[in-house]
Structure 1
Amino acid sequence: MEKLEGENLGQDQVLLKKLGAIVLENLDDEGFSVQTLAYSYGISRSQLHRKLKRIKGQSISQFIREIRLNEAMKMLRNDEASVSEIAYKVGFSSTSYFNTCFHKHYGYSPGKAKHHDYSEEDVLAKAPILPEEKKSLLSRPLLMIIVLAAIFLTIILSLYWAKPANTLPNKPKSIAILPLDHLSDNTSQEYLTAGIHDALIGELGTIKGLRVISRLSTLQYQNRGGLMKDIANELDVDAIIEGSVVIQGDSLRLQLQLIDVYPEEKHLWAEDYHRSTNEILSLQSTVIEDIANSIKISLTKNDKERLISQQNTNPETYKAYLRGMYYISKSNAEDFSKGIEYLHQAVEIDPADPIAYAGLAEGYALLGHGPDPMNSPWHRGKAAALKALVLNPKSAKAHSALAMIQLYYERDWKAAERSFAMAEQLNPNLPYNRYHYAWYLILLGKWEEAIHEHQLAKQLDPLAPLISSDLGMLYYWMGKNDEAIKEVEEALEIDKEFAPAWKTLGDIYISKGWHERGIEAFQRSVEINPASLWALGTAYARIGDRDKALEIAAKLKKGQVSSRNAFGLTAIYALLDENNEAFKWLIHKPSDVYVPWLRVFPGIDSFRKDPRFQEFLDQLNLPPITISAT
């Protein structure tokens, strides 16, 4: 019996040495996986898993990771390369993930490795003691007693603390998907990586009970290092997904891992996917199902039907759609036009597919918010939204785009409310659906509800300066200056060059009596964006500097009077109590998207009391409210 056990120990040692040698031979191959190791050794993945669990108490991935980290430590101590270079040398595709694993294994970051006392034994100290080593420490009878006692105690505790197998101790309720690393040399295919990232966020967002951070906020972490716990704290989430995409010709490899960050970092799930670039939609569906399973959230029948139906999209249509949304997201005129062109290409490839129409609706709705939009963006946006909804009545983005058009252009308030509600029902994690719905509620004087929706939008997109800045403006309109300053300062921490935040900060300062500081903030806003000159005019009017307010009004009149300038002139003259002039400019461009919000714009009570303004409101078919803003 004793001889047999010794033989088993010898076989275990041989197994570990062979496995270790295979890992070392493939050390710099980031594609080397659990399946690869099992195949190279000549046994099944499940067999190898059972053997390593018995011998070392480790999973296969833990075994591979430990060897990689040990080799990394040696390289760091020998100063062979930088941390990021060593990360790739030992098979990590992400430096941030390497940093996380290294810190968890050794208790300090890779950068501090050189400053710690080191020996070969230190590198191996984290590994469980092998059976051969245990033999020299304890006599066999005593060891057997301890083992039996431990087994008995484990059984008792497991029965006492038993939990259903399908529950996690801390099931994530909020997730951020960090931008996927594009590891291909071909930068022309970055749109595919960006598109997969956006699609995964969108699809996860439809799952009830899960808060998913928006793409805009996660983009702040593009090519940025840091510990996962720090990122999770900044985004206020329980778990993080990170990964990479490698594209070679028509072959695509997606590597993802889900990390639970509280109370300490723990990898819940990781997977490698290999597909053709023509199979992106089916890949995304598989990934969503895998993520849902890993966090023990059940997909509804509707979720599954939606994922299946999306796989019917023509691959070339989807690629054109991804290109279109990629360029639209860049938020400059040239790229925006390019994005619209690609979306039209997607429609031409397959006119019966709703996805491109939904993208066009979203794009045109955004274009309609420009400083002087023609009617065509709104008309085209509505046509695209309606077409998308005919083809797919459950398109959340199409409902949301339609709601924006109904709110800002058609001023069909009830229809807008229905569309906002439908979009939220289909995907509760669309931040800008909640953002725009909040402004609809403001128009009705439902201040607290508006604050609630705006805060939800911020939770979904915490690093969007527009959302924080406009939440600050809403607080300012309500007379809550302390809350307003906090939000605006957050916006400026995110983007010091965000002009609307400087404008709102100026309003707050002036309302607190800090006139000089307020004017400086408005001037900073104009420096960043000259189109906000009208707002500086309202600032001078608020502090009683009539001459400077009129000077700016004259400048606005000299140029081509845009709809935004017409709104500004209305506000300037209303603040100066020159109601006749204010009404002149109100009717000059009554279609400006901001005009209805004069109903709650602060400081123009005398203008609102003018019967002509009430007649104007009657034309908008808005229900009566009590103006509570100051």
Structure 2
Amino acid sequence: MTSDQVFIRRLTEIILENLGNENFGVKELAQESGLSRYSLGRKLHSICKKTVNKFIREVRLQRSLEMLQNESLTASEVAYQVGFHSPTYFNKCFREFYGFPPGKVKEGAYKSPDTYFPSPISGKQEPQRPTRRVNVRIISGLLFLILVTIIVVFSYYPEFFKGNTLEKLRSSEARMSIAIMPFQNMTHDTIWNIWQEGIQGCLISSLSNAPELIVRQKETITALLQAKGLSELASISPDLVGTISKKLDASIFICGSIIESGSTLRVDAQLTDTQTKEVYKSFQIEGTLKEEGPLKDDIILSMIDSLSAEVKSFLVISKLKKDISKDHPTEPTTISPEAYRYFIYGNKAFSKLDWPLARTWYSQALAIDSNFFDAAIQLSAAYANPGMVEQSVQWVLWLYNKRNLMPVVTKIWTNWVYAINFESPSEQIKYLRQLLDIDDQSPDVYFLIGQTYNSLNQYDKAIPELEKSLEIFHKWDSKPFWVVNYFQLGLAYYKTGKYKKEKKLYRKAEKDFPDDPPVLMRQAILALSHGHTREASGYLNKFISISKEYSSSETDILESLAYVYTEAGIPDKAEECYRKALSLEPEKPDRMNHLALFLIDQDRNVIEGLRLVDRALELSPDNFEYLDTKGWGLYKQGNYKEALELLERSWDLKPAFIFDLYLHLEEVKKATGNR
């Protein structure tokens, strides 16, 4: 354990020993730790970028979560026991920190984030993850397929990682190694000479606190410089610095200068690749010198603090990105390593379909940096995928109102997210094409365009876009982040009769995503459509087995099988599955509606379908999906006027843009116009 970790643990122990004392604050913690309030605040901020008050509050909140989970106490009782002066304020802080109210913990709706990922304070390691509960039917749902890929789209890589050395370093498990050289005094004023090594020492001290980095120490660098006979720092050349960095086995070296112009003092710093000598990132900090007021040392100390924070944040965030898939070369919308770390935890939970945990971590990232737009976009998707569309739309609107504060690329992505909820498919494709104008090697943009064409049943247009996406991943010697890349292209091949290509595609998908439910479903559909019933049975049996492992309900499995049989052109088996699902949950309106839509859409029994959806509407009169089903049934009967009224009402009630409803409405409008 490092000295910083020991320090943090000791502070945590002191706070826990005084947990019930609501008056225990900065002054008391400083006294107990043997430091002045100033020294405590400065040291704590240098380690974890938190104020003392915030650190104390987070320790209280972490303990409160443990108590809520493990003890028979109300939220109010816990609030007082962990040192909050009022339950109302406790509820506010708890929700801001965890993303859900304390009452949800008592209901058992959420597990502690520590169950899966390192604690923000304790740093516990990730244990074995329990089996997750997945509704496999959702995997084939359109909204899921549209939004789930946002995690890939917003996996950012900054432009400075252009060199092979850093690309390999970042993708490895090793920590990033840094050598910091003395800064050069370019002011011609010897008063700044002391700060040539002073800045170097401060940067070494600050960056050494980051566990993601290995920082070569000052004594080693000084010894190498002296061995080269360099007593004058001004004579250190970039080539010599590169040579020393190689000897130190450092992948990056940092050097810089002190410049004075009139009353302005400036400190420049450059991050350079040791192998290629390419400067990846430059920093510039300025301060104003005054004849009266702060001393020059105070000014440069403040500038060094700012420089250290910027360099450290940049390097730590860059190193953290090794956990995220390769994609769009754009800076993230936060400079907080802590917020970005929570963002990564959220992405891990997202990739495992653990929506509550993902929302928890994204909310924590936003609590640290309220303008971390990437986290807000992911949070909207983590609400949308399990069907919490209204909460998702709230975040989409929040983002849309903030779009003028965003970098250009993030703004375009936000316009696209808004468009998939409120605008037409042509608008969605327009924004995606704008992204390709900026970077035509972004595989997930091609994928999203192809997926949009698939949703419109324009499969011939979808195929080249989806193929281009996979082609780029192949060029990178990488697999797609998500199986839906294969699912969508397989769907387009199937709908256009390209069965040989489809089968070959699934062989590749099996290698990248073995036994993945969406691929098994598509393989079963292909086999059934060609009469290969034994082969299809193998895929379906495996699909059912995996679904049960994920604790999917029998009704969900039956409706997934109904989808397979419908796609394969075996409507009798599909109807059998839908009817059995309804018999298991006869009072559930969603089951009524699913069978009704099938009977209407497949022209099996429109009259019975309308009777079923009427029953569903009695239970939920303003459900836009049920209104859509009934409107579509009336259209099938030739009742265009009433069908249009119901579909327009459904459209007004929809929480977001729904492709199927859009297509139904357009079809009925066309029929009405023709008549």
- State the TM-score, normalizing by the size of structure 1: 0.46
With structure 2 as the length reference, what TM-score do the two structures score?
0.43
Larger relative contact order (CA 8 Å, sep ≥ 6): 2
